[in-house]
Amino acid sequence: MNWILGPMLLILLIPIYETFQDKDIWQKMLAFASVSTKTSIMILVISVLRDDWMIGLVGVLILSVGNASLMLLAQVLKRVNEL
């Protein structure tokens, strides 16, 4: 099952490239959201590969709280733009 990680890493490079290529803040936010989801899925896959559920638990926790910070950041950015 090791073959999965290669393509995953390659696909992960796309949003990372986008984060420093684009100047618009919302495009950057999109790319960061994408990176956050993709890395936590990768953590889950690695935990299955290594058969270690402590890693998997971390992945699930990141999935369930990680995006909250991005939402807050989006709200703050909206307010700042309105000033």
CA atoms within a 13 Å half-sphere pointing along the CA-CB vector of 45: 15
Quick one: tokens of 50?
């290594």
Please report, as residue ranges, which positions from 21 to 50 form the binding site for other proteins (by CB under 8 A). Answer: 21, 24, 26-27, 29-31, 33-34, 37-38, 41, 44-45, 48
Binding mask 54-73 for other proteins (x = CB under 8 A): --xx-xx--xx-xxx-xx--
* CA dihedral (75, 76, 78, 83) positive or negative: positive
**Residue 17 interacts with other proteins (CB under 8 A)?**
yes
Cα separation values, 41 from 21, 34, 64, 67, 75, Å: 24, 11, 12, 13, 25
Q: Which residues bind other proteins (CB under 8 A)?
A: 1, 4, 7-8, 11, 14-15, 17-18, 21, 24, 26-27, 29-31, 33-34, 37-38, 41, 44-45, 48, 53, 56-57, 59-60, 63-64, 66-68, 70-71, 74-75, 77-78
